[in-house]
Structure formats: structure tokens, C-alpha cells
Amino acid sequence: MQSLPCKAIFLVATTLLVLLQIPFISATGINYGLNGDHLPAPPAVVDLYDRCNIPSIRLFEPRPEVLQALRGKPLQVILGTRNEDIQSLATTLDAANSWVFANIVPYRSDVNFTYITVGNEAIPGAMSQYIAQAIANMYTALADAAITYIKVSTVVPGSSLSISYPPSAGAFTNEAATALSSIASILLNHGASLMLNVYPYFAYAADTDSISLDYALLRPGAPSSSDQNLVYDNIFDAMVDAFYAALEKINQPGLTVVVSESGWPSAGNEPITSPENAQTYNRNLLNHVQEGRGTPRRPGQPLDVYFFAMFNEDLKQAGIEQHWGFFYPNMQPVYSFWQCS
């Protein structure tokens, strides 16, 4: 008997969920970066995801050796474009067609792509003016290849907000608002979500006098704050809701979001960084999203979260940037977290 390809299994399962009216739960995954020496070969990495029951993976750019390793695996895959490719993807449809033909079409039958992200933290920035058209071109290229199940989005950082506190005052910078107004309409038309990078670590490290560590680490019983009759017991929810408020201010209240990066470094800025704090933050965030209670501004709305990152990467800037991983390059855990076979 011939086995179904991964994407077919995923689509059948999704259809059953809808027909049976079983509620969707939040998905979780981990970003897989490659800025390190002596990282495991991609097949070993994919096997580690599988052994640790990590259901989703985010890739920052196409790497044939990684895509090859994903063949026949059930992992849900977010695949990014390089920021330096955004302008060409926007300028000519041929560039988008070539990208899809090179990086999606050869793997379409046995790699479970869910999203393509056009750019990572390119808003605000010189490439922001091109992203909406690049997304539109990518959708056209996918349609030309008869691929309708992959969504396209972009990833925005906290710096796209000019105001983030209190959450209800959340607002985009003028540059980000201009870019995202066009992008949001395309995403809504295709049922796609906006991707956000949300890092309570940076908010806490910048203002330890005003923010409690318990509030930043999502510890139960942390001092709460209120904003327009909404109660916040952790800074993660407050940061996500600042984005929701900013989307409302550009008349896009219906756009959903996915947290494409969040995490806590295990070293590099002691005592704020430690394996214990990284473990606590990530564990509490995982529990929080798996509860499915959403945020105060969007109660009950599931929120997909991709943790950063799979490995410590020693080719990054010295300090905290080298210490976000769940695993060392030898695949030993930095701290106990995933239950791996």
C-alpha cells in the first residue's frame, strides 16, 4: 500500500478536526539556526526534533541539505527567504517563481511546508517598502505551481512598535504602519497570520528596576498590572497585546499573529541569564500557550509559539547571542526541558 505524503496526512487531519468540531490547540516549534561551528548534520538535527517530540521547525533560509533531511518527516516547516532577496522577489514575478521552483516544488510531496516568511525583522528598514509586493508575488508563484496550502507572511520585531506600554497604547512606528497596512490586507485575504518576535528578556534586562523577574518569567503569582480593565500577570501577554492594539490602530483588528521567536538566554548577562531562568521562562511559556487561554486582549485565541533556538551558536556575537539554545552542538541539553527518547 502506498503511503500518503506528509502534506496529505496533515490536510486530512486538519479536515477531520473541522468536521468533528475538535478545537485547535496552539502549536509549538523551535527555530533552527546554523550560525555555529560543529553543529550536527541536518539529518541528526531532524532526528533530534523527532526524538524530542517537537512538532514544528522554523528555518531562516533555504538550505538544500536541511530540506533534504526533512523529506518524509511529519515536522511542520516554516521556511524563510533571505532579507537580501526581498527586493528582487518584489520587483519581478520571475524571481518569486524561481524561488518557489527551487525551494518548494522539489520537496512539495514529502516536506510539510506551512508558511513562507518573506524577510526576518526587515520592518522597519530599507526593505520594508518591498515586502507587501514580495508576499503578493510569492502567492502568485505558489498558485502558478498549483500549491494552495502554504501561507506567506513576514516577521516583525519589537522595534516595529513606537509605543509598547501600556499594551492598549501599542502603536507602530510610522514606517512600520505604512508597510504593515498593505501587508495586513494581503495576509487577511489569504487567512495568514503576522509573525512576531517577542522577547521579554530584553524588556526586563533594560528595566530591572520597574519590572519584576517573576513577571518577566511568567511565574504564577507574579505581581499583576491592569490596563483598561484587563489584568496582566506576565509581560509576554502584555507585549503580544501591544501588537494587537497597534494592529487595531491601522484598522486591522482581525489579523491573527504567530510568535515566531521567543526565549531566554542561559548565559552572557549574569545573573539575569542562567540555565535556571531560561528553563523557567521557556517552561512557563510552553505551559501558558498549551493552556490555550490566549491573551487578555484576545482571550481564548490559540497562539502558536516558536522558541529560539535549537542550539547555542558560537559564530554569533559574543555574549548572550551565543546562548539561546536548548542544546549544545553535541546535542546534549543545556538544561532539562524536552523529554527525548
Report how far residue 174's alpha carbon sits from residue 40's, in angstroms, rounded to the nearest whole number: 42
261 is a catalytic site residue: yes
Give me the phi and psi of 232, to 5 degrees please: -115, 125
Cell representation of residue 231: 489584568
Q: Which of 121, 248, 270, 276 is catalytic?
A: 121
The DSSP string of 314-339 is: TTSPSSGGG---SB-TTS-BSSS-S-
Strand partners, 258: 195
Distance CA 268, CA 250 (A): 38
Contact 176, 164 (CB under 8 A): no
Upstream peptide bond of 166 is cis (omega within 30 degrees of 0): yes
Instruction: Let me know: does 166 contact 210? Beta carbons within 8 Å.
Output: no
Question: What region does 39 belong to: left with phi over 0, alpha with psi -120 to 50, or beta?
Answer: beta
Active site residue 121: yes
* Helical spans, DSSP H, in the chain: 6-19, 42-51, 64-69, 86-91, 93-103, 131-144, 174-189, 200-206, 213-216, 235-249, 275-291
- Residue 59 vs residues 103, 268, 269, 306: alpha-carbon distances, Å: 12, 25, 27, 11
> CB neighbours of 319 closer than 8 A, spacing ≥ 6?
268, 269
Instruction: Supply the residues annotated as catalytic.
Output: 121, 261
